[in-house]
Structure 1
Amino acid sequence: MTMKKLKWGMIGGGEGSQIGPAHRLGAGLDGVFEFSAGALDHRPDYGIDYGQRLGLGDRAYGGWEEMLEAEKKRDDRVDLVTVATPNATHFEITKAFLENGFHVLCEKPMTMTIEEGEDIVEIAKKTGNICAVNYGYTGYSLVRHMRAMIARGDIGKVRLVNAEFAHGHHADATDADNPRVRWRYDPAQAGVSAQFADCGIHALHMASFVTGQEVEKLSADTVSCIDVRTLEDDAMVNFRMDGGAVGRLWTSSIAIGRQHGLGIQVFGETGGLRWSQEHPNQLYYMPLGERLQVIERGEANLSPEADRTSRVTIGHAEGMPLAFANIYADLAEAISARKESRIMDSAANLYPRAEDGLRSMAAVFAVAQSGKEDGKWMDARPPMFR
């Protein structure tokens, strides 16, 4: 990978943001991106002040439109823009930057509708610019090793995938009217889905990422366990994949005792694999008829995909910002390869694409509709992929 730093800009992720620091840590970790520009807050004065305190100088902008107009005129314009704003603004901002020649990493969900998602896919193809979506948990080293093991046939043909993303942080009914919680279950602000669109799509994308299969159809049971909520706080989704695998997915925000709760199990003809985001340093592998093996992050003889994304020595903790950093490292390699007219490192060619964001949005609408129709099976594919 080239040591010449690329220039990176961020929209959203301002002071007090939950996701902003993770992106700034991730982008800066390997020294491949320089934080060069930002429109960090919907309040112009706050955004400019915070950006200047972070060292952006006159490239701390009061809004994304101002940032776009200024950056596209610069010879040293940013190479990558991260969109970390509220969900309803993702489409407009991502579209504008792609059409003006910028590569984009958009937070999930990429859009609010399937039609918008298809537009973004088409714009990325037409312009040739990268549009990535931050399914950041696929950046974990052992998730990538899991994918490599499945691809090389270590567990045989995949039969069953069991994915979960369940937490209990919205379980208190007395807190249901808290504005920071309430908006998530309000269709006017969140769209057609709450918990599945927030967390479930991470688990569903993880299932596709590690198996190399896409979801074709699904059936969902959705429920609002706290009855004042319009949108679901718990969902159970059955799905079928295009390579023949059967899938089960549970996502919940009322599972008291669960903290983060993202995990995945894959069962094949000759073995099984299990990984959890709360214990990311271990991948459990059970070959048929043999003893359980614990694969440790950082150990010798892992896949190139795992070796490339392991920064700290074996036994030390790996966390979410490092997973995000691996997505940024992938994008830095992709952008640098284009600039240098060379083939990118295949072990880095794993960042989630606009197509992944589109498939997730199609699944969100399919889950919402299936939940309304008592679990009726729905086509989970976006129209352009049918």
Structure 2
Amino acid sequence: MAKLQWGMIGGGEGSQIGPAHRLGAGLDGAFDFAAGALDHRPDVGRDYGQRLGLASDRAYGDWREMLEGEQVREDRIDLVTVATPNATHYEITKAFLEAGFNVLCEKPMTMTVEEGEDIVRTSERTGAICAVNYGYSGYSLVRHMKAMIARGDLGKIRLVKAEFAHGHHADAEDADNPRVRWRYDPAQAGVSAQFADCGIHALHMASFVTGQEVHRLSADTVSCIASRVLEDDAMVNFRMEDGAVGRLWTSSVAIGRQHGLTLQVFGETGGLRWSQEHPNQLYYMPLNGRLQTIERGEANLSPEADRTTRVTIGHAEGMPLAFANIYSDLAEAIRARKENHAMDPAADHYPRAQDGLRSMAAVFAVAESGSKDGTWVDARPPMYR
């Protein structure tokens, strides 16, 4: 089977996210890294692309040059990943969708709700796939959580508790560090800092595993470091469309917390708990039963979990492998469209543009509620109300 052609915009030398995408895209042998515009400095981007193995005519200087070059090729890329600064996501994603390219966009997909709705409509109109990299949803046991909830192991879901709290921005002396400062600058980050950066991962996970969307929310936001305009801590209460109650805490000043993404789901007949820092274990407590530890890679898990595990039980799987599961889903989806057949249901879990839109609507809802002392607000995008 011929490999699919993959390209990347952004993620250049020294970037945090670029290597994880390149590892994830290449892990299963479904994609060839064929094209890239990897740096905002054209010569630097071309040089780095060629050092990574790109042909000289496909190591582009910028995304516009890449779009123009790939459109006219018979072997044009099947998927492009957009891993540029946040404010550029909308323009680049829309341009490639309009040209019929499938896109995987880093989060946040857009900077406004209106842009998000436009991306959803553009994807629907062109028929091109638009996925958003909520990569933590690729973990095997997160997929198993979703499968357990869907088959009714927990009964009706009552409560979801999500966290994404770390302490890496807790030092007030870092206020002028450019790698930190931009995150709290409205001109560069938009209306939200910590919730838009980390909180939406936790919120997406809550919706992903339960199959319920957030309907409304109330937020308490604060800048614990007074010089920051945007929040570095937020507590969000939310209600989901099928009745589940949600609690979410996100922080960048929680000294002692490293990554801090955890998810707990409680239903009428059981509860589940998972942490990204210990991704090989999922804890399950049936009502009136005993606490069970479900190990990634053990026998008799769900098809969704089996499909997304690669190494034997007891060995750690990390973030690049979770990313690889998103890419594996997308390869399945792209091949299904090319060959006109249904995709494997166990693979049909990649985050869509609709998820990116709902996240952006939640960001603005949190900002609005936080500015109004926690007033409950509608968290849905206008097109879904």
Per the normalisation by structure 2, the TM-score is: 0.99
Shift of 1:13: 0.1
Q: Does 1:273 align with 2:272?
A: yes
**In 2, Cα distance between equivalents of 1:80 and 1:333:** 12
- Which structure 1 residue ranges, 5 or more long, are not aligned? none
Q: Which amino acid aligns with 2:141?
A: L
Helix, strand or coil for the counterpart of 1:145?
Answer: helix
Helix, strand or coil for the counterpart of 1:111?
Answer: coil
Tell me what 1:39 maps to. 37
Aligned pairs (5 A) from 1:52-201: 52-57=50-55, 58-201=57-200
Tell me what 1:21 maps to. 19
**In 2, Cα distance between equivalents of 1:186 and 1:310:** 39
Helix, strand or coil for the counterpart of 2:48?
Answer: helix
Tell me what 1:203 maps to. 202
**In 1, Cα distance between equivalents of 2:2 and 2:328:** 13
Q: Following superposition, which runs of at least 4 residues in structure 1 exceed 2 angstroms of deviation?
A: none
> Could you report, residue by residue, the CA deviation over 1:303-350 in whole angstroms, capped at 9, with x for unpaired residues?
000000000000000100000000000000000111111110000000
**In 2, Cα distance between equivalents of 1:343 and 1:215:** 29
Helix, strand or coil for the counterpart of 1:330?
Answer: helix
**In 2, Cα distance between equivalents of 1:248 and 1:335:** 36
Q: Which amino acid aligns with 2:31?
A: F
Shift of 1:203: 0.1
Tell me what 2:49 maps to. 51
**In 2, Cα distance between equivalents of 1:216 and 1:335:** 31
Aligned pairs (5 A) from 1:235-314: 235-314=234-313
Shift of 1:176: 1.4
**In 2, Cα distance between equivalents of 1:81 and 1:177:** 34
Shift of 1:4: 2.1
Q: Which amino acid aligns with 2:214?
A: V
Helix, strand or coil for the counterpart of 2:375?
Answer: coil
Helix, strand or coil for the counterpart of 1:248?
Answer: strand
Aligned pairs (5 A) from 1:317-332: 317-332=316-331
> Could you report, residue by residue, the CA deviation over 1:261-301 in whole angstroms, capped at 9, with x for unpaired residues?
00000000000000000000000000000100000000000
> Could you report, residue by residue, the CA deviation over 1:226-251 in whole angstroms, capped at 9, with x for unpaired residues?
00000000000000000100000000
- Which structure 2 residue ranges, 5 or more long, are not aligned? none
**In 2, Cα distance between equivalents of 1:218 and 1:163:** 14
Shift of 1:48: 0.2
**In 1, Cα distance between equivalents of 2:380 and 2:73:** 40
> Could you report, residue by residue, the CA deviation over 1:103-123 in whole angstroms, capped at 9, with x for unpaired residues?
000000000000000000000
> Could you report, residue by residue, the CA deviation over 1:16-72 in whole angstroms, capped at 9, with x for unpaired residues?
000000000000000000000000000001000000100112200000000000000
**In 2, Cα distance between equivalents of 1:272 and 1:77:** 47
**In 2, Cα distance between equivalents of 1:271 and 1:349:** 26
Helix, strand or coil for the counterpart of 1:381?
Answer: coil
Q: Which amino acid aligns with 1:42?
A: H
Q: Which amino acid aligns with 1:54?
A: L
**In 2, Cα distance between equivalents of 1:202 and 1:353:** 14
**In 1, Cα distance between equivalents of 2:264 and 2:174:** 33
Tell me what 1:5 maps to. 3
Q: Which amino acid aligns with 1:339?
A: K
Q: Which amino acid aligns with 2:191?
A: V
Shift of 1:183: 0.4
**In 2, Cα distance between equivalents of 1:240 and 1:4:** 46
Helix, strand or coil for the counterpart of 1:257?
Answer: coil
Helix, strand or coil for the counterpart of 2:170?
Answer: coil
Q: Which amino acid aligns with 1:360?
A: S
Helix, strand or coil for the counterpart of 1:202?
Answer: helix
Q: Which amino acid aligns with 1:285?
A: Y
Q: Which amino acid aligns with 1:312?
A: V
Tell me what 1:366 maps to. 365
Q: Which amino acid aligns with 1:70?
A: G
Per the normalisation by structure 1, the TM-score is: 0.99
Q: Which amino acid aligns with 2:235?
A: M
